[in-house]
Amino acid sequence: MSNTAVSERVGTTSALSQLDQLKQFTKVVADTGDFATLKQYSPQDATTNPSLIYKAAQMPAYKDLVQKAISDQRKSGLSGSELLSRIMDDLLVLFGAEILKIVPGRVSTETDADLSFDTEGLVAKAHRFIELYANLKIPRERVLIKIASTWEGIRAAERLQKEGINCNMTLLFSLTQAVGCAEANARLISPFVGRILDWYKAKAGKDFSPAEDPGVLSVKEIYSYYKKFGYNTEVMGASFRSKGEIIELAGCDLLTISPPLLGELKASSDPVERKLSPSQAASSRLEKFSLDEKSFRWRLNEDAMATEKLAEGIRLFNADAVKLEKHLASLTS
């Protein structure tokens, strides 16, 4: 091990949990809509998605938030699908506002999955969220608008960033998507480590060690590319399947972690070594490339894993959004 690696190891103080050690290298983000979890692990930021909000909305602890979203929109005079859409927007923002009372940083609020190929629709939805947050006296600087990393989503992010509305580009599975997001000046990307691993495990019929994990290697490549070529877009590894994946990405700008894995990190005091750093990235052999729409779509098409996981992810998020909508509809009838 090099002297640099030794100097960046924070394992000599056994009292520090792995979670606390990790926080010295990386901003830790909680991947949850559960307020109790946020208080327990003290993350910097929090991120949610339709799946997490659907689960939280069914919990008795959040009944008041759900009822507030419903009662506020009933006064609007709207009905049917338009009413449900407004209730869902309100609910997402109400959860976000409560989360921001707990975390010191930012919250990510996700746009509708069925807008993933609609640039104008995504921009309008982002404006809607920012307006709702502003009505609650929450500045846009504390909000990240989550958008799927499609070509249309990236174009929406490009426009929103010019307005000072920060975007978190989600469902990201490839360097191609990452470069597109960086060139659009997106504030943050969320490469999905675990879902990449899932695809390769299914194809190869075997498991991978954390150091050889295809999802981990993908994030390391993206991180190195961004740091080597001076992009300001932040990299936030997401969708982890094991604690080992997280430890392998210590030093990444941010990592968004589920409650069970946060618990594992907090329960262990094994040493954590920084694995990613800008200085290491500078020496990578990656070559810079640019993208227009044709080259973006072609490169993505040639990456079977990224193409399949992006499409699947959009479908899954939309399915959970439909479940949430049905749940809210049952409460408004």
Burial 196-230 (b: 16+ CB within 10 A, else e): bbbbbeeeeeeebebeebbbbbbbbbbbbbbbbbe
**Of 140, 71, 128, 127, which is closest to residue 100 (Cα–Cα)?**
140
Q: What is the rounded distance in angstroms from the CA atom of residue 38 to the CA atom of residue 70? A: 25
In the residue annotation, 146 being an active-site residue is answered as yes
In the set 23, 27, 125, 146, the catalytic residue is: 146
Residue 48 CB burial class (10 angstroms; 0-12, 13-18, ≥19): buried
In this structure, which amino acid lies at residue 104? P
Q: Which residues are catalytic?
A: 146
